[in-house]
Structure 1
């Protein structure tokens, strides 16, 4: 058996003696930089400088470029005649709504704050008004579906009752027909658009496809003159015209629910009309006349006969 005598001798030497024989070990020393206040490793200073440079390129340069770019100030548009007239009308309204005259014509406020006699007008046929009430109740029921289920159910029940009165009350005629007290202020021109409006909201509130069938009935569509291509004035949503909003609701049903046959054909028609309607609001298509203040001029029938 061979024995390494050098190894035996090395084991008998202490650490100091081994250092004499083997020489000093190579130890890599860190380099430091004196920054007057503190002494840091050179490697750390290098990484800090690189980080600051990157931050300047990523954040500082875009800010400098943005501030150097020329800014275009929008010209101040002078109010046109329509804007001036609107402001005067609002001032008149604010002055009149606190009038001492005890009637709705001069005093517009919440019903619960009214302290003057308000006689109730009865009607045996009010398809437009009844449908409006049904739509409002059905839409309100959706708001309380999660927070107050009992109240939401109550609203749906009331909406169904109003809808039945509106659609099944026999001889159909606008509620203002033959009643000058109503016609002076709300001379309704029809009720078929309100049928579509109420049917759409009740479908949303109940999920009952009976209401969707009524809303997509081609006869109702025809009677409502629902094609925007035939009646440009029907593109504007108002108290007397619910077609734009009703067709938008039905387009949403087609996009998100896609109920298919037998509703698809009419829903597709509503969707196409909605597309046309949205485009008509863009100035480039020249559907409406525009004021200098970028308001659309329309020939809507005012709510008041005055």
Structure 2
């Protein structure tokens, strides 16, 4: 029988029995020599070796990289499961009812603060800014104030604030209002920020200080004149002057030329109060270095004028005496000097305000029925508290300690008079303290006292002092807070 060897021709597989062992050996040798010397192709190998056993690949070829098959399957499974879960969660969220939680309404103090600041927006004079704080019925007004008056200390007097009940701009109470706003921002800027009113109140302060810088030669080191008011309120029937106090008309409808009243040489109270306004505002705007520097320079110029003129701006029957008469000027010198020390750190101001002579002239050791009643006319209680703050936190020591300690004691005495246990001031049936002894317009004095009491309590707590003495009795700071809350 013959078979075909796929590589080398016929091969005899079964030979006759007579084949010898040598012949078989030679045939085996011939078979070895018949082993192919070239590599087998895939088809030949399959024929020779039989069916190939396929093994699972351990890697997956992704084109540019080889990835472990196990890792690839785990990754793919994770992606699929994540996608399914995300879709399921999204479906649940979209099908569930939505409950929109409204912001809680502002508390009463925030509402009161916003309403109080809105008053200043309603009283703004000049070309009003375009912002969200504007009062809807107010528009530009009195854009010709101070214009067309050659040779004066001012170029124009547009801006500022009208008085509460008319269209006159009284610089004395206006300066006091700006000082108080600045003081509140310096001490409670975080509270303003929390109420969303910090930028608002700073705009209001700047509206006032921008106007003040127009009322005197703010670039000079020394001045001899300044503006005290714009508008008139004393002209009678038949007068050629318009009466801005009794005329009930919108300031937007005022197109006539308005009177400008100036103060020469006798302006200590007015100049010192305006210096306080500019100095305190310079602290508010300390991040605006150029503007703050201009405010400080103006405050120095005004205070220098105040200390050389030495008299009341409202003396001798001037029109200002009929509206905002100043009873003395030493309290403004004390007040303005304290603010200038805070604004500049110049010890010259500290030496002046800790003078026993100035304190005595300002009424620091008095005992009048109005002692401790803080107002646009009486700055002494505010000045004493401001200097008490200096003692508590700055501790300037000798030679200022004796007078600062006296101011501290006097401030404590004023706070004692606010408490209901002391009978210096009467109270209404509802508990309102009558600081002006039953005279009209009591609320301004009450609000000022509440502010001072809250400040003093905060100063004491910041200095780790739990309270103060009223004679032999010790009262904690909570008594002052209770008083403030009861009056506002």
Q: TM-score, normalised by structure 2?
A: 0.39
Written as runs of structure 1 = structure 2, the 5 A alignment for 1:143-292 is: 143-146=284-287, 148-169=288-309, 172-227=310-365, 230-292=367-429
User: Which protein has greater RCO, CA pairs closer than 8 Å, 6+ apart?
Assistant: 1
Partner-residue secondary structure (3-state), 1:121: strand
What whole-Å deviation, never above 9, does each CA across 1:286-305 have from its counterpart, x for those lacking one?
110111121121337879xx
Contact 1:176 1:188 in 2 (8 A): yes
Selected match of 1:129 from 264, 270, 275: 270
Structure 2 CA distance for aligned equivalents of residues 190 and 274 of structure 1: 20
- Across the aligned residues of Structure 1 and Structure 2, the Cα RMSD in angstroms comes to 2.9
Q: Give the 3 Å change call, closer, same or farther, for CA 249–113 of structure 1 in structure 2.
A: farther
Q: 1:117 aligns with which of 257, 270, 275?
A: 257
Change (3 A) 1:114 1:294: farther
Partners of 1:206 and 1:112 lie apart in 2 by 40
What is the rounded CA distance, in whole Å, between the counterparts of 2:280 and 2:335 in structure 1? Answer: 11
Alignment length (residue pairs):
203
Q: Quick one: structure 1 residues 96 and 267, their matched pair in 2 at CA, closer, same or farther if it must change by over 3 Å?
A: closer
Give the unaligned 5+ runs of structure 1.
1-94
- Over alpha carbons, which structure has the higher Rg? 2
Note if contact 1:225-1:231 (Cα within 8 Å) is conserved in structure 2. Answer: no
The CA deviation at 1:110 is 12
In structure 2, do the counterparts of structure 1 residues 114 and 283 end up closer, same or farther at CA, with 3 Å as the change threshold? farther
Matches within 5 A, 1:92-103: 103=243
Higher helix share: 1
Structure 2 partner of 1:69: none
Measured in 2, the distance between the counterparts of 1:108 and 1:149 equals 42
Secondary structure of the 1:296 match is coil
Give the C-alpha shift of residue 227 in structure 1: 2.2
Q: Is the 8 A contact 1:176 1:182 kept in 2?
A: yes
Question: Distance between the aligned counterparts of 1:110 and 1:179, measured in 2?
Answer: 29
CA contact (8 A) 2:279 2:295 kept: yes
In the aligned structure 2, how far is the partner of 1:114 from the partner of 1:253?
46
